[in-house]
Structure 1
Amino acid sequence: MITIVIPYFQRQAGVLRRALGSIAVQRECHLPLHVVIVDDTSPVAASAELEGFELPNATIEVVLQPNGGPGSTRNAGLNRLAPATRYVAFLDSDDEWSDDHLARAAIALDSGFDFYLADHYQIDQTVGAFSRAGRIRPAGHPPIAGATGLHAYLSDMFDQILNGNVIGTSTVVYRPEGFSDLRFRSDLTSAGEDYLFWMSLSLAGARIAFSNQIETTCGRGVNVFAGARWASDEFFVRIRNEIKFRKMVEELFDTSDNQRRQLRKGVKELRRSFDMSILQRLRQRKKLPSALIREHWNLDSLSFATIPSAAARAVFVRP
């Protein structure tokens, strides 16, 4: 069985049905499918979306939980895995799969791999993420028999994620056997919780396969990362989570000197974004989100030390 975990929080009707529609058209997958939809107290309830809807090729289970963010929601799905589950697939509720995604993932995982990912279209893009980022070159990884475009990943995925992540969450299918205790960080609500999961899976010895075929199209539903407007409250949450993620990587993993430099460089860049967001809110005479500012101070007080220099730069570069 493949258990498909869908974290669900949407404000627009019809989004979930499109994602489920891409499950309905899956072909040539030899394993039965079970869908676990975790309703994260969504404004448009999953039950309303499912009214009168059936999947011809899968069973559906809905779990309702208090709002906890994407990590908590995916964990709720992982906690509901049936004993018959051989593979777990993730599908965000605003994304859609190609009709052969699960069949191709099953071919790769049946060949002895533990962790599968694929090329994908990011939001509003018509060029695949692999090509856009230029971070992964299929020719450098040996092919896997059974379908064209499948490859055994030979590089360092931990380093790959730090320097140029190529993993789209909705493309991931993995084998839970041997990794059953692994969970997403629920304290990272808008950035980094998925990266930490992939890093942990990789360092735990998961054998990785990938497809250079486009197998997922990312949609524009409620996206707590891409939807955070500059200097908005959501943006402050995202910046805090991104800084926290980088600090956690240093705390949790044995990183190289080069990786630590990369992480600290990222923190400095995020501090600049935080400072400029503060200054923009002040210029616009908009109230600062005091609770979020306090949380940021508790995480990274050095972000505030650079506000004067950021203000000085802003003055000198103004026309």
Structure 2
Amino acid sequence: MQKADRAMKITVVIPYFQRQLGLLRRAVDSITAQACLPEWCVDIIVVDDGSPSPAKAETFSSIPDNMSIRIVEQQNGGVGSARNAGIVAAAPDTTYLAFLDSDDEWGPSHLKSAVEQLNAGADFYFDNNIIDEGYDAFSHSAFMKKTYGSLDLEKPLVGILDGKAGFDAILHECLPHTSQVVYNFQRHSSVRFETQMRRAGEDQIFWLTLASRSTRIAYSTEIHGRRGVGVSIYRESLAWDSENGLSRVADEILMRTTIRHHFSLTRAQVKILKNDAQLVCDHFVFLALRNARKQPRQLKDALLRLTRQGPSFWTMVPVSLLRLPAYVRKLRAEFRQ
């Protein structure tokens, strides 16, 4: 489809790896249902990351005249690689770039809310979303609880952070959900996702990079999206016996190593990362001992990665072994709740 020349271009990048048809169509439908002004040109880029169910097999509803959709295909490289391919494929004159996972959906005012804040000077924007029925992300965020106490979703708020405050908030927790982020592409077109982390952490480093280069970050507590139930590399690795659990936790340890190498941090921030890394190492040791017999190859691969890319991991292992009995008791207590 040929696009008319418009005043503002918004590119939406959708990394695609699914096993069933229909999810991508719903995601795209939520884009075409946006309350967009006619002068906006919206370019949807679907990056098929070697998906078992090909993106080209999807059928889409009618695409409005001010929107277009194209599919980029690549061999499987992980979600970070797929998002990077979408960023590279974005038109150079893209004003704002947004992400949407292929099983997630936007509320109809997501882009409108984002553009309002970006036009007002924000470098990047993110908003709230539904994780499960009756469970929204921000109401359970440590940052939001500290800032607002209990959120009243009937009275949504817009918050503004400078780059330093935004960096600190995201360092503590991965506050933005990727599908709810829109950023100023003209200011930040060079930012890319880490590709060696395929199960966790690549998005948090991306947001930290944006924050470190930003003067103004905006967010809304209003719910403007819903997470889906399709293939989730992260969610599928959360079970204690998941064959990908060790790889995910290794990614989470290496993410903290990467952050320490990539950014100039204060002593307080380094302390936060060290404490977080030790907690993650506790879980890695638990999973390693639990699954050593059933998953020897996965354990070997994870240990080799950690040794090559984050050898300081080994300095944390003795502490985790000493804390293991208390950690197991804690997990059992949480499991019973």
Pair 1:201-2:210 in alignment: yes
Q: Distance in 1 between matches of 2:64 and 2:79?
A: 27
**Alignment counterpart, residue 216 of structure 1, candidates 208, 215, 225:** 225
Q: Distance in 2 between matches of 1:80 and 1:115?
A: 20
Q: Is the contact between residue 49 and residue 76 of structure 2 (CA under 8 Å) also seen in structure 1?
A: yes
Pair 1:9-2:56 in alignment: no
1:97-134 CA deviation, whole Å, 9 max, x = no partner?
Answer: 00111111111111222211111122x25232222124
Q: Distance in 2 between matches of 1:73 and 1:39?
A: 7
1:67-93 CA deviation, whole Å, 9 max, x = no partner?
Answer: 111111111001011133111011011
Residue 12 of structure 1 aligns to which amino acid in structure 2? Q
The correspondence of residues 106-117 of structure 1 with structure 2, limited to 5 A, is: 106-117=115-126
Distance change in 2, residues 1:254/1:43 (3 Å): same
Residue 217 of structure 2 aligns to which amino acid in structure 1? I
Pair 1:89-2:98 in alignment: yes
1:234-292 CA deviation, whole Å, 9 max, x = no partner?
Answer: 1111111100110111111111222111111111111111111122124xx41412333
Q: Which residue in the other structure is 1:171 paired with?
A: 180
Q: Is the contact between residue 11 and residue 42 of structure 1 (CA under 8 Å) also seen in structure 2?
A: yes
Q: Distance in 1 between matches of 2:157 and 2:289?
A: 48
**Alignment counterpart, residue 118 of structure 1, candidates 108, 123, 127:** 127
Q: Is the contact between residue 29 and residue 61 of structure 2 (CA under 8 Å) also seen in structure 1?
A: no
**Alignment counterpart, residue 281 of structure 2, candidates 271, 291, 299:** 271
Distance change in 2, residues 1:100/1:311 (3 Å): closer
Q: Which residue in the other structure is 1:249 paired with?
A: 259
1:282-315 CA deviation, whole Å, 9 max, x = no partner?
Answer: 4xx4141233332233333346546754676689
The CA RMSD measured in Å over matched residues stands at 2.6
Q: Distance in 1 between matches of 2:236 and 2:329?
A: 30
Q: Is the contact between residue 190 and residue 225 of structure 1 (CA under 8 Å) also seen in structure 2?
A: yes
Residue 8 of structure 1 aligns to which amino acid in structure 2? Y
Distance change in 2, residues 1:98/1:316 (3 Å): closer
Instruction: Using the aligned pairs only, state the percent identity.
Output: 35
Paired residue secondary structure (2:190): coil
Q: Distance in 2 between matches of 1:265 and 1:138?
A: 20
Pair 1:105-2:101 in alignment: no
Paired residue secondary structure (1:120): strand
Pair 1:131-2:139 in alignment: yes
Q: Is the contact between residue 115 and residue 206 of structure 1 (CA under 8 Å) also seen in structure 2?
A: no
Q: Is the contact between residue 127 and residue 181 of structure 2 (CA under 8 Å) also seen in structure 1?
A: yes
Q: Which residue in the other structure is 2:6 paired with?
A: none
Q: Which residue in the other structure is 1:145 paired with?
A: none
> What's the TM-score once normalised by structure 1's chain length?
0.87
1:42-76 CA deviation, whole Å, 9 max, x = no partner?
Answer: 011100113x6442352111000111111111110
Q: Which residue in the other structure is 1:237 paired with?
A: 247
Q: Which residue in the other structure is 2:314 paired with?
A: 301
**Alignment counterpart, residue 51 of structure 2, candidates 42, 45, 56:** 42
Q: Is the contact between residue 27 and residue 105 of structure 2 (CA under 8 Å) also seen in structure 1?
A: yes
Number of residue pairs aligned between Structure 1 and Structure 2: 307
> What's the TM-score once normalised by structure 2's chain length?
0.83
**Alignment counterpart, residue 71 of structure 1, candidates 72, 76, 80:** 80
Residue 37 of structure 1 aligns to which amino acid in structure 2? V
**Structure 2 unaligned blocks of 5 or more:** 1-8, 149-155, 333-337
Q: Distance in 1 between matches of 2:327 and 2:97?
A: 48
Paired residue secondary structure (1:301): helix
Paired residue secondary structure (1:186): coil
Quote the offset at 1:189 in angstroms: 1.2
Q: Is the contact between residue 158 and residue 199 of structure 1 (CA under 8 Å) also seen in structure 2?
A: yes
The correspondence of residues 9-28 of structure 1 with structure 2, limited to 5 A, is: 9-28=17-36
Pair 1:161-2:174 in alignment: no
Paired residue secondary structure (1:12): coil
Q: Is the contact between residue 275 and residue 310 of structure 1 (CA under 8 Å) also seen in structure 2?
A: no
**Structure 1 unaligned blocks of 5 or more:** 141-147
